[in-house]
Structure 1
Amino acid sequence: MAEQVKMEKVDRISDLHDSILTHVLSFLSTKEAIKTSVLSTRWRYLFDLLPNIDFDLEEDLCRKNIKSYSTDVIENYMCSVDRMLLFCNTTNVSKFGFKCWIKMIGSNRFNRWISAAVDRGVKHLDLSTSVLPSSTLPIFTCKTLVSLKLGKYFVLNVPKDVHLPNLKILHLHSVGFLNDDSVKRLLSGCPHLEDMVTRKCDLGNIRNFHISHHLLKTLTIRYTYNSYQCWLWINAPNLTSLEYYDRLVAGYSMENLQSLTKAVIDISACKTLRADATKFFKGICDVPSLVLSDTSLQLLLRCEPLPVFENLIKLDLPCHLRFRCSNALQKGLETLLSSLPALEKLEFYQEVLCSLPEKVPSCLLHKLKTIKITNFTDEKDCIGKAKYILKNGGVLEKLIIVTASHISIGKKWISKTLCVSSRESKPCFILII
């Protein structure tokens, strides 16, 4: 019995190797990992060995239900960051993440943190703060940096000697650029950049948002501000994925996008067509897979001449009831189909097919294998669209129909009606969802 009691008092966890204990601590937040230092002398400095340092003041205060930022709370928080970066024995820092959007942090202190992280060979920087990173900081000449994520609410002043030789990921959220040169310097200083994201960035200080890079693979542009006088230039011969969610800007230049395999385009509604919108769509017309919002489809249909997407295999039109075929141009999906000779897979809301083409599109006769129609009803118009597809789909293998929630008769009636309809492709399978 005495031996059993003695066994219960043995601290087996503390006897584990440092590498195991630090792995356990890695599942905790940085603040929680620091708290383990009070457990015993064995745990006092273990948190120093953590390669990832991540502080999120906003989340931490919300979790504690603290609604106001007292000086003591902020100072204690800042001291925790000091302890991890400035006073610990960590030799390497893989990631330093800091999120705090209040203005109680001194720039000098913040600069010391960044310098310390860079000196310790940081690979991933994720900074969301109102404090402006100085253009003289080694953040712009860090040889170990692989990913850099910056935000929020400051103007980025990029120095002339920027050099980030290993940077592959660049995410900018709610930042502005001092001038056109800031954009050019930043991209030219990242020779191995592969992934770039801009979200809610302010382009008010620049006239040419020039994204030119020979190795860039993925590009996402979301909701820029003050861009109505700005030109967007994209020159990326190795770009494979483009996501563009924005209003029309002053103009476009889209070059060397022959490697593009997928594009997601959501351009906000615009009453007047600018000639350069046509340049935008012509620049991506070699893409094999395309997703278009309803407003983007309307804008594309107003291009003259309508671009031909010779290599497009898959088209997705996730449009909703905002699309109206009663617009003055009276154009819908049926117009676009004539410009898609290689299309094999098509997904669309039934509203975007405004009318049945008198001349059957070539892709429907010879290429289309899978068609998915969403928001389908049991009305005569919808049934007519499905019958038209079945009658002319020469190589159609599958017709998927996703019914609307308000259909009055039901799926069985739709299925029965379509199953007895004439079809060009006998093996075609009809699925009603």
Structure 2
Amino acid sequence: MISRLSDEALIDILSYLSLKEAVMTSVLSRRWRYLWRYTYRRWDFDVSNNTSLFLMSCNGNPRHVVRSKYVQWVSTVLQLHLGSHLDELRIRFDMDNVIRNSPGLVWWLVFACLKRVQRLEVDLSNRLGINTLREDKALFPSPAGLSLYRCCKLNLPPSPFPCPILDFSSLISLSLNYVNVYADTLAHLLSNCPLLRHLSVKSSDTMYSSNKNLPPFKSTSLESLEIVQSNFMQKEMEICAPNLVSFAFVGRNIAISFKNAVSSSLTELTVGMDYGVSFLLDPFKQHSIFLSQIEKLKMVFNDTARCFLGKTVPSKFPNMNNLKYLEVRWEASGSSSFLFPLTLVKAAPSLCTLKIEEPI
């Protein structure tokens, strides 16, 4: 019965399978051999739990050799895709310092542009918890850099016309973890991706602007913005996102200004580290315009903040009449002060859930 279906119908069915399952159907018959290469829903390269990639050696090969082969394999598989578009591309893999001397990430991003990927996740974090030097992390290039790479490295035929600028205009969601990225590159993406609703950057060490002044983070479609554990070197950041619902900033203390009636839509807030301490000690300074709207508040603190907040407790906090969920998470063990959570509780008459999390 299934053999009577058209190729288009079979491709639709295969697109609901995982990439591995879809590839396995290529042995069914000659007709099925290449159908998987047209699937369009999700290509997932998640080997974060593959222990062979974490071992110092595997089958006699050093770890960097095993990882380099994996990078090449991912690039090869992506080149086999024959469809006009791909909805989601997910790559999760601890590359260590392999990526620094490999064009892997750049080629993957070029592929994402050419295939009009809507949801892109690149997670290169170290699963063993070993610190990675900032120069060992991959760098997310600018759109102009991607276009130059495409023209110079991908064996394209010579053309008298300028190399076309690649863009991520189809992106709906972008998540980067352990990938260095310039802050002005993010600002450019937000301004030139009209469909982008979710942007997440974690553990980036180059969160500074290559220009003197950082352009505002401006987007009419952005609903969620997350910058966590990143070395954001700018002293201030301006956010112009009237439809922003969720905002997270965990890092050094900077001045963040919200424009264009962000307060009317923002209901979820996550703050932490030095910025979180500033939020507690001077809530009237940057956050009073939207605190009354917040329904869900999460706070993350390290050992330095723990010691500081144990001695200094804000006596008064702006009213948070809509706050229903409050979570405080300590990332280091030690003596805690529960006075500042109580201060927040007093300012939140509608609070339903209070969660305080300590490390084991």
Q: TM-score range by the shorter chain?
A: 0.5 to 0.7
Q: Which ranges in structure 2 are unaligned for 5 or more consecutive residues?
A: 125-136, 151-164
Q: 1:317 matched to which residue of 2? A: 326
- Aligned residue in 2 for 1:171: 175
Alignment TM-score, normalising by the size of structure 2: 0.62
Question: Structure 2: which amino acid aligns with 1:172?
Answer: L
Distance 1:133 1:258, change over 3 A: closer
Conserved 8 A contact 1:238-1:257? yes
Match of 2:239 among 229, 234, 245: 234
Task: Kindly provide the amino acid, as one letter, of the partner of residue 234 in structure 1.
Answer: I
Question: For residues 107 and 34 of structure 1, what CA distance do their matches in structure 2 show?
Answer: 26
Instruction: State the distance in 1 between where 2:244 and 2:270 align.
Output: 15
The alpha carbon displacement at 1:108 in A equals: 5.2
The residue that corresponds to 1:282 in the other structure is 288
Paired residue secondary structure (1:43): coil
* Residue equivalent to 1:263: 268
Q: What does residue range 34-183 of structure 1 map to in structure 2 within 5 Å?
A: 34-52=23-41, 54-56=43-45, 58-59=47-48, 61-62=50-51, 68=58, 70=61, 75=69, 78=72, 81-82=75-76, 84-87=77-80, 89-102=82-95, 103=98, 107=102, 111=106, 114-116=109-111, 118-128=113-123, 132=139, 134-135=141-142, 136-138=145-147, 164-178=168-182, 181-183=184-186
Rounded Cα–Cα distance in structure 2 between residues aligned with 1:272 and 1:291: 14
SS in 2 for 1:90: coil
What is aligned with 1:198? 201
Query: Which runs of structure 2 are paired with 1:286-297 in the superposition (5 Å)?
Result: 286-293=292-299
Residue ranges of structure 1 left out of the alignment (5+ in a row): 1-11, 142-160, 352-433
**1:348-405 Cα shifts (integer Å, max 9, x gaps):** 47x9xxxxxxxxxxxxxxxxxxxxxxxxxxxxxxxxxxxxxxxxxxxxxxxxxxxxxx
Change (3 A) 1:191 1:123: closer
Paired residues of 1:247 and 1:269 also in contact (CA < 8 A)? yes
CA contact (8 A) 1:235 1:254 kept: yes
SS in 1 for 2:264: coil
- Whether 1:308 aligns to 2:318 is yes
The structural deviation recorded for 1:175 is 2.8
- Which whole-Å deviations, capped at 9, do the CAs of 1:155-188 have from their partners, x for residues lacking one? xxxxxx775444332323223334x533432322
SS, match of residue 48 in structure 1: helix
Q: 1:211 aligns with which of 217, 220, 237?
A: 217
**CA–CA distance in structure 2, aligned partners of residues 280 and 194 of structure 1:** 24
How far residue 199 of structure 1 moved from its aligned partner, in angstroms, is 1.8
Taking only aligned residues, the RMSD between alpha carbons, in angstroms, comes to: 4.8
Shift of 1:37: 2.4
Taking the aligned partners of 2:240 and 2:352, their CA distance within structure 1 comes to 29
Q: Which amino acid aligns with 2:87?
A: S
Contact 1:177 1:183 (8 Å CA) reproduced: yes
The answer to whether the 8 Å contact 1:214/1:236 transfers is: yes
Normalization by structure 1: what TM-score? 0.54
Number of residues of Structure 1 aligned to a counterpart in Structure 2: 307
Deviation per residue, 1:90-146 (Å, 9 max, x gap): 3443334444443279755765565455444443433446655553325999xxxxx
C-alpha contact 1:201 1:223 (8 A) present in aligned 2? yes
Closer/same/farther in 2, CA of residues 173 and 115 from structure 1, 3 Å limit: closer
Q: Whole-Å Cα distance in 2 between the matches of residues 210 and 193 of structure 1?
A: 16
User: Displacement of 1:31 after TM fit?
Assistant: 3.8
What does residue 14 of structure 2 align with? 25
1:221 lines up with 2:231 in the alignment: no
